[in-house]
Structure 1
């Protein structure tokens, strides 16, 4: 599903990512952990196409069989909207819109009709236990409810991969546990692929693989993959 090879990122003289290699298979849940400043979020933003890597010979980023580094901005925006979902620590819901309206936004961007978008959004919100909260705005929802709305928004276009950056970092223990269980339920029922950056050791240890990032590279542990002579994966 994802093949990233020799990913570098420099900010002036600061070399944040130093040639990261990563393979994520379809339906896999991979967690990325490490100290603050190790490069976790920068990597997530790059493989999530929100940032571009620093140009380097040999750099590749293939997602769902497509080389995203070769896309122009318009192609990349369309690919991101249709193929990728995002869940952030602070939800990033639009406060003036209801839960239902927030979930529909990516579907509208993809060109779906209001009828089609709302039908899918209602189905997702019901699946996530929010049938009676659809018309509430974010300020009227608990932290856990807001995060489930964000999950529904990430899912509405049936993306190939969901990227989560500290998804439970702003939740109480019970809500965090519920969110963690939800990720695995989604994977088991819908085959979703997840890449999760987290400081939550419980969530990290639940993943199929836990990768530890230190100073811009992954430690060579049981979850590390050597990409030498590895052919590009397709999906």
Structure 2
């Protein structure tokens, strides 16, 4: 489903990625761990179309998106890829419902259908009574669940998450981790997650350990 071949990336004279090969199947939950500077975020950004590799190829659903032009890539990203970050990045002037709808509105989808879908997702994530609340009226855990709902709205092929529970307390972090697996069970959703949370890393189907721009271990989770 997602295939990376010999991905290399330099920033000036610094070689950040040194030839990454990776295959991820539909419905897999992959964790990526490693020390700061190992290349985790750079790899995630290239896989997620936020940056381009200097060389190599990345395929998602048989489309080599490293060769797409900027406008094509933006459309492809909106349709196929979503993100969850450490900080929820919600728009403060919009309600929870509106925040979830934004990616679909950008993609030109019909407002009535999207609003209904957003309400269904928020309800499924336990936020039925918070739909019309603004981010400032939500707890940290609730805000991150809104961010998860936003990531789901376009039914992406893959969701990339960069330290998604890094800003949450242990209870909300554990609930978020369990949510990923429930979403996989319900939608066969694929997740690629950078994390320093050892529990989440070991829960994944596979744990990739990065060091000095390379994957040095590719192991099954517990």
For 1:41, the equivalent position in structure 2 comes to 41
TM-superposed deviation, 1:222: 3.3
Q: Alpha-carbon deviations, 1:170-201, whole Å to 9, x = none?
A: 00000000000000000011000010000000
Question: Using the alignment, how far apart are the partners of 1:33 and 1:19 within structure 2?
Answer: 17
For 1:155, the equivalent position in structure 2 comes to 152
Contact 2:6 2:19 in 1 (8 A): yes
Query: The residue matched to 1:219 in structure 2 has which SS?
Result: strand
Question: Using the alignment, how far apart are the partners of 1:92 and 1:197 within structure 2?
Answer: 17
For 1:190, the equivalent position in structure 2 comes to 187
Contact 2:3 2:59 in 1 (8 A): yes
Does residue 105 of structure 2 align to residue 104 of structure 1?
A: no
Does residue 219 of structure 2 align to residue 222 of structure 1?
A: yes
* Matched residue count: 220
**TM-score of the aligned structures, taking structure 1 as reference length:** 0.92
Does residue 7 of structure 2 align to residue 4 of structure 1?
A: no
Question: Using the alignment, how far apart are the partners of 1:166 and 1:185 within structure 2?
Answer: 19
Q: Alpha-carbon deviations, 1:25-64, whole Å to 9, x = none?
A: 111000000001111011000000000011x3xx110011
For 2:132, the equivalent position in structure 1 comes to 135
For 1:50, the equivalent position in structure 2 comes to 50
Q: Which blocks of at least 5 consecutive residues in structure 1 are unaligned?
A: 224-235
For 2:173, the equivalent position in structure 1 comes to 176
Q: Once structures 1 and 2 are overlaid, which stretch shifts more, 60-69 or 168-177?
A: 60-69
**TM-score of the aligned structures, taking structure 2 as reference length:** 0.97
Q: Which blocks of at least 5 consecutive residues in structure 2 are unaligned?
A: none
- What RMSD in Å do the two structures reach over aligned CA positions? 0.9
Question: Using the alignment, how far apart are the partners of 2:108 and 2:217 within structure 1?
Answer: 43
For 1:62, the equivalent position in structure 2 comes to 59
Q: Which consecutive segments of 4 or more residues in structure 1 shift more than 3 A?
A: 220-223
1:2-41 correspondence runs (5 A): 2-41=2-41
Contact 2:207 2:218 in 1 (8 A): no
